[in-house]
Every structure is written in structure tokens, then in C-alpha cells.
Chains A and B, each alone.
Chain A
């Protein structure tokens, strides 16, 4: 189902910029419309920063999806950080962990079509998002 797969490191704030670029390229390639590209790149930027700041760094995988009848882009973030203790709370609208962001998870979720957070305390966090054309 996936056409291309690109694995990117997230270790510096410069890497967050590179993730934005890779996601934009994939979204353009998948034929997403302008507004949806902006939404997806913004959501990816938020989560890439979470991966860096809260996860202590990690990776992003950018994939173009082509299921024949529909195309899209999937971006998966993974870190081996402390994990999220209370996922329900973290996903709540406007929740802030205190480091000043707080729009990260709930805000990003609104910008994409599918958004899954998988986290285990002490093991790390995986966030997967999909935007369909």
C-alpha cells in the first residue's frame, strides 16, 4: 500500500525543519490540495517537536499511501522517551504539560484524518497520522 518510505532522524530543531520539508514533498506528490498540505505539515511539525522535546529525540517515517481508490500520506513518529502517563489527559482539548506548548496532540489531531497515539510509560511514544487526498 505504501509507495515510498523515508526514515528521518529527529535530534535537533533543524531536523524538525527537514521533517516539514519531507512531509510537504510527500503531500505534494500525493496530490493533496494546498490547504490540506498546510494542515498536514503543521500537524507533523507539532509532533516532531514533541518527539524532540518530550521524547528526547526519535525518528519520523514519511510514507505515501496509494490504495488505488485513494491516496494520502502517513507520518509516523517514534521515540524512546518517558512515554505519556495519562494519554486521555494529554489528548484533552487545550491540555498543557506546562512547558508552554499544550496544543500539540489535541490540536494536531484536528488537522489530519487519522491520528493514533501509542504510548507506554518508560518505553516511549509512537504517533501516527494520515491525511487523505
Chain B
């Protein structure tokens, strides 16, 4: 199986990633690297990651999401993970992964609101893991 590259779309001063496939670990690591570069290249202030199509988020993907959030914070951008399925949320908590430090929103619209509010204030409160 060839690992696939997840497209990163530009939306104003934000980046939008919609994960539509069941990623293998290598694709997830590639996405993490690509996003860090894209944040700097575009001077992005926000990153929106839509995971509504993901039926499963295991500890590896969970950690990648946490690392993307931490990395983007260091690059002065806020990451919001949107669209998590309820069964995924329950399973992550049962697994022992609460994704502290990862800002979430129910959908893309609300996620954009969070990013816009963050830009207005200049800073956003995202506690460390």
C-alpha cells in the first residue's frame, strides 16, 4: 500500500485539512510535516482539521493530532480539530487519551469562529498537555 498525501487547502489566513481516508501511520507523519511547512509558508494563523470522516482515531493518530496542535502553537497558529464522531470521542477517553491541549469544535463553522476569535485577541488559551 502506498501512503497517501492529505491535501492542505488555504482558506484566507487559515489552513484547512479534511482527512477523508483511513490514514496509515506514515501518511499521518507526512501530514504533520507538511502542515508545519505550510503554516510558515502561508503565515497561517489557524489550522482546521476535519476528522468527521474518520471512524477510528487510535493512540497514534491521537498523538499526531496533539503534536500538530503543539507544533502549530510554536509557529503562532492555532489548531482546531473539528467533527469528531461521538463513538471516537468515547473510545479515545476509554483508551486513556484525552487529547489535552487539542482544541476541538463540533463542526467547521464553529472551528472557524474559534480561529477568528483567536486572531482578534492576538492570543488564545490552549493549555499544555
Binding site for B on A (CB under 8 A): 12-18, 20-21, 24, 34-35, 37-39, 41-42, 45-46, 49, 93-94, 100-101, 103-104, 106-108, 110-111
A21 near B22: Cβ-Cβ < 8 Å: yes
B95 near A17: Cβ-Cβ < 8 Å: no
A49 near B25: Cβ-Cβ < 8 Å: yes
Question: What is the bound-complex CA distance between A49 and B59, given in angstroms?
Answer: 10
- Quote the shortest CB–CB distance from A110 to chain B (angstroms): 5
The CB with the most chain B CB atoms within 10 A, among A35, A38, A46, is that of A38
Q: Out of B60, B63, B87, B96, name the residue touching A38 (CB < 8 Å).
A: B87
Binding site for A on B (CB under 8 A): 1-3, 22-26, 55-60, 63, 85, 87-88, 90-91, 94-97
User: Please, which residues of chain B bring their CB within 8 A of the CB of A15?
Assistant: 1
- Quote the shortest CB–CB distance from A108 to chain B (angstroms): 8
User: Please, which residues of chain B bring their CB within 8 A of the CB of A20?
Assistant: 22, 56
User: Please, which residues of chain B bring their CB within 8 A of the CB of A42?
Assistant: 56-58, 91, 95
The CB with the most chain A CB atoms within 10 A, among B2, B58, B96, is that of B58
B94 near A16: Cβ-Cβ < 8 Å: no
User: Please, which residues of chain A bring their CB within 8 A of the CB of B91?
Assistant: 35, 38-39, 42, 111
Question: What is the bound-complex CA distance between A94 and B59, given in angstroms?
Answer: 12
User: Please, which residues of chain A bring their CB within 8 A of the CB of B57?
Assistant: 42
Chain A residue with Cβ nearest B88 = A38
User: Please, which residues of chain A bring their CB within 8 A of the CB of B59?
Assistant: 46, 101, 103-104, 107
